[in-house]
Amino acid sequence: MSWMISSDSHIIEPPDLWTGRVPEHLADRAPRVVVEDDGEWWYIDGRKTMSHLGIQTGARFEGDPDKLVTSATFDQVRPAAYDPRAYLEENETDGVWGSVIYPSEGLVMFSVPNTEVVSASMKAYNDWLAEFCSEDPVRLKGLAMVNVDDIDDAVGEFTRVREIGLSGVLITVKPPAWAPFHSPAYDPLWACAQDLDLPISLHTATDRGDPRGGDAAFTLDIKSVPPSVFINKDYQVRQALADLILTGVLERFPRLRVGSVEHELAWIPFFLDQMNYTYTDRPRRGEWYRFREDGVLPSDFWHRNCFASFQEDGNGVRMRDVIGVETLMWGSDYPHTESTFPRSKAIVEEILADVPDDERRAIVCDNAARLYGFPVPA
């Protein structure tokens, strides 16, 4: 197995990340750590979210799920999860040469309804992440978090994060019902991402807490999440991508790249088939969109504009001819509990055992390198 590029890795935010990085009047509302009886917990705008991750990387391979925990203290977090040099060295032992980096606590920040708090906190995180990746910008590609409640502000942040060296943007996978992605108001955002060559990621667990809903819009309870949430996690991304494709957004912005991250793959063939079937065989209802070019199908825009990052979905890999090898990118999810670390090489070898060498290299390295601007490792 040659060097791999992980298209979905994470950092663990240090407790002082937001200290001094947000406007003074928001200092007590930005993410901060509170010590409680069962560990340390992040609070955002007065709302309890989750504890530190990165304390049991690889523990799932020990075979006893009852020993896995949801709370910790920061001194239990592996230092490589927040130290960039150690991050590179530890991932090298797992066969990973370069990493596309997402947040951890930052993911649940999307669920906080207050626009000002969320936007300011995300900008502060983006500054910290740019500093983290500056350790080795060739091998560490950070993805900015951007709140799209205010489109003009989001466009400005797209531009700013590109200038400070970040390589893509993470936006909510589930916008509020009153602001779906096909709304014309988003057009400046899509145009900006296209012009700046910024891939847009739709990561699991980034549902937007509706800013018009107030406190009632915050429904996260990390200690009582039902298992069905994890099993059906592709629901929101299917809604978002179908909206972007079937309303012509990706036709109007042909160089826009939008991807599914950490939703795995096996749902995609049926999703593509259902989009095509709906477009060709169902009667039109209201203002259903029709593509400008005759014979074009919704699935064509998936293959041209979309990508899918996965961890260990062997079923999806077997259907790669339908999904499109050119859309597939492997990711380790380091250093989360469900990560493939430290067994990534063995897991990838098993999943891709029957995949031809050129397709294997595209999935574990070349596709991510091309999308995010990595040089291809020797």
Domains of the chain from N-terminus onward: 4-25+79-372 (3.20.20.140)
In this prediction the pTM is 0.96
CA distance 306 to 169: 14
43 three-class SS: strand
pLDDT tens digits along 265-283: 999 999 999 999 999 999 9
Identify the pLDDT of residue 247: 97
Contacts of 189 (CB under 8 A, 6+ apart): 148, 151, 154, 155, 158
Got the DSSP string for 111-159?
A: T---HHHHHHHHHHHHHHHHHHHTT-TTTEEEEEE---SSHHHHHHHHH
Q: Sign of torsion, CA 343 10 15 32? A: negative
Residue 4 backbone phi and psi in degrees, to 5:
-115, 155
Identify the pLDDT of residue 168: 98
AA identity, residue 92:
E
Q: For each successive 10 residues of the chain (378 residues), what is the average pLDDT? A: 93 98 98 96 96 93 89 96 98 98 97 97 98 98 98 98 98 96 98 98 96 88 70 93 98 98 98 98 91 96 98 98 98 97 98 98 98 91
Identify the pLDDT of residue 331: 98
> In the chain, count of helices (H) and strands (E)?
15, 11
DSSP code, position 340: -
Identify the pLDDT of residue 357: 97
